[in-house]
Amino acid sequence: MIIASNVSKKFGKLKVLDNITVNCTKGECIALIGPNGCGKTTFIKSILGMVVCDSGFITFNGKNIKHDWKYRENIGYMPQIGRYPDNMTIGQVLNMMKDIRGKKNFKLDEELINKFGLDEMLNKRMRTLSGGTRQKVSAALAFLFNPDVLILDEPTAGLDPVASEILKEKIIAEKNKGKLVLITSHILSELDDLVTQVIYMQEGKLWFHKSISDLKEDTGEEKLSRAIAKVMTQ
Amino acid sequence: MKKIIKYVIIDILRNKIVLAYTAFLLLISISIFNLEDNSAKGLLSLLNIILIIVPLVSLLFPAIYVYNSSEFLELLVSQPLKRKTIWLSLFLGLAVSMSFAFFVGAGIPILLFQATATGFMMLGAGLILSVIFVALAMLAAVIARDKAKGIGVVILLWLYFSVIFDGLILFILFQFADYPLEKMMVAATAFNPIDLSRILILLKMDVAALMGYTGAIFKDFFGTQMGLIVSFLVLVTWMIIPTWLSLRKFKHKDL
């Protein structure tokens, strides 16, 4: 569904992405793992077209994304740090996104808005929200339009245990519907029951892209966190 | 595109600075027209104030606004929208707000007190200048990533167009006083939209007679239909080129 071939990106002298080639298929839940600053977010942003890669190309459903923008209709993106216009209220942000993205007779998925209790604080201004509540808004927006692909950048960072359980359940439910989920996280224990494949990156390079059973077999560990720890110390 | 322009304008209105700017212009223009017994004289005083304030506010406010809406831009870029649509909507939203503020603040008093050809010329020049400086501000804001740097550049641009450029022209005039520079002076005005507007408006006024020999040359050129069309085209170029450059830059910007 998403194919990246030889994607490279430099910020000044720093090589953030170095020849990344990945093939992500439908129905998978893929974890992007790697140390801080290894290029995970940049890779995600280049899939979304927020960062323009220097060389290589990315295709979405067989179409190059470089001069395309419509493909983003099929992506729900939850950023690492959700930043929204300060003097809009939650309700206004939600309505604006519905207005910009929503097509007529389109079924919206408002499950997360209700479960997170966002519908009860629609009049709160974005400026006054805590980091966790902002994350809830980001998550609700990512799932709102029923996209085929979900890209979640550190989704549970800053969420309270109840909210992060709700979000995890939602991710599993969407994965079971056959959607592609790309997820980055440093809390590996959380990923255990979510992911089917692992992409491991370090210093902008792709180290491996394996299914989770292969990874556990290769390292001889039962838990993802231990398996990754073993890879990192090798 | 319409939807985004709508949200930009709602956001600008909520910000209230543009409303304050409108009120300020309104206060100045009404008090000037009431101070002078002759409204043609009032128009001349208003001209000098407007040519300083309009570029300054139309540069500073949009530049700060673009920096402050970086979150909003980031949010929009991750949505199924063309970058071109996003940037042009932001530009149009800002340009419409600034020109509308000028129209209400200065345009309506001008039309009330001095609805002559000169008055209309001043109204048109003010509207065009508002748009030109919004375009320049957005160009500066897209090139400089750092907010302080971008706003500094914008202030320097304003200084250049309202003070330094005139100084340079005077310097050249005195240094090369022995040479016939009049024709060159006409061409030089194309490099500064503020000066160009000032000359266009002044030539419509009676005071043009006091401008001496250079004034006569100016009148020869700008007084004609052809001269008017050329100056209008120059002003339009001043709107299009910065917008085009900033759009090109924004299309490849990493957010």
What are the structural domain ranges in chain A?
A: 2-82+152-233
Chain segment B20-51, per-residue pLDDT in tens: 999 999 999 999 999 888 888 888 889 989 99
β-pairing, A180-184 vs A29-33, is parallel
Q: Which residues of A59-85 are buried (b: 16+ CB within 10 A; e: fewer)?
A: bbeeeebeeebebbebbbbbbbebebb
Contact B77 A50 (CB under 8 A): yes
Q: Of B121, B1, B122, B144, which is closest to residue B66 (Cα–Cα)?
A: B144
CB-defined contacts A:B, below 8 A: 58
- Least confident interval from A173-187, B150-164, B179-193: B179-193
Q: How far apart are CA A109 and CA A114, in angstroms?
A: 10
Average pLDDT over every residue of B2-9? 88
DSSP E strand stretches across A25-158: 29-33, 55-60, 63-64, 75-78, 149-153
- The answer to whether the beta carbons of residues A223 and A57 sit under 8 Å apart is no
The runs of H, that is alpha helices, within chain B are: 2-15, 17-35, 39-68, 70-77, 83-102, 108-113, 117-143, 147-159, 165-175, 182-188, 193-204, 212-222, 225-251
Give me the residues of B, 15-74, that contact A with CB < 8 A: 15, 69-72, 74
Select from A31, A136, A138, A46 the least CA-distant residue to A83. Answer: A138
- Cross-chain Cβ contact B79/A49 below 8 Å: no
- What is the number of H-type helices and E-type strands within chain A? 8, 10
- The pLDDT of B158-167, averaged and rounded, is 92
Separation of alpha carbons B222 and B12, rounded Å: 37
pLDDT digits (tens, 9 = 90+) for B62-117: 999 999 888 889 888 988 889 999 999 999 999 999 999 999 999 999 999 888 88
Residues spanned by the domain of B198: 2-251
Q: What is the ipTM of this complex?
A: 0.86
Report the C-alpha gap between A227 and A83 in whole angstroms.
34
234 residues of chain A, pLDDT tens digit each: 899 989 999 888 888 999 999 999 888 899 999 888 888 989 999 999 888 888 999 999 888 888 888 888 889 999 888 888 888 889 988 988 888 887 766 778 888 999 999 989 999 998 899 989 999 999 999 999 989 999 999 888 888 999 999 999 999 999 899 899 999 988 888 888 888 899 999 888 998 898 988 888 888 888 888 888 888 787
B143 neighbors B72 (Cβ within 8 angstroms): no
For residue B157, pLDDT over 90 is answered with yes
* Contact: B83, A83; criterion CB under 8 Å: no
pLDDT of residue A105: 62
Q: Is A15 helix (H, G, I), strand (E, B) or coil?
A: strand
Q: Do B11 and A85 touch (CB under 8 A)?
A: yes
Q: Cα separation of B109 and B36, whole Å?
A: 14
pLDDT tens, residue by residue, B190-239? 899 999 998 888 888 877 667 777 677 788 888 788 888 999 999 999 99
Pick the closest to residue B205 from B25, B37, B47 (CA basis).
Answer: B47
Which pLDDT score is estimated for B209?
67
Adjacent-strand bridge partners of A4: A22, A58
Q: Note the helical H segments in chain A.
A: 40-47, 90-101, 111-115, 131-144, 161-176, 188-191, 212-219, 224-233
pLDDT value at residue A104: 65
Distance from CA of B61 to the nearest CA of A (A): 17
Q: How high is the pLDDT of residue B222?
A: 82
Model pLDDT, residue B223: 79
Cβ–Cβ below 8 Å for A100 and B3:
yes
- Residue B1: list chain A partners with CB under 8 A: none
**Beta partners for A78?**
A152
Please tell me the CATH code under which domain A2-82+152-233 is placed.
Answer: 3.40.50.300
Q: Which residues of A touch B11 (CB under 8 A)?
A: 85, 87-88
Number of domains in chain B: 1
Q: What are phi and psi of B69, to 5 degrees?
A: -100, 25
Of B4, B6, B75, which to mutate for an interface test with A (greatest number of A Cβ within 10 Å)? B75
In this structure, the number of other CB atoms found within 10 A of the CB of residue A37 comes to 13
Tokens 């299009």 belong to residue = B240
Answer whether B75 sits within 8 Å of A84, measured CB to CB: yes
Question: Is residue B170 pLDDT above 90, yes or no?
Answer: no
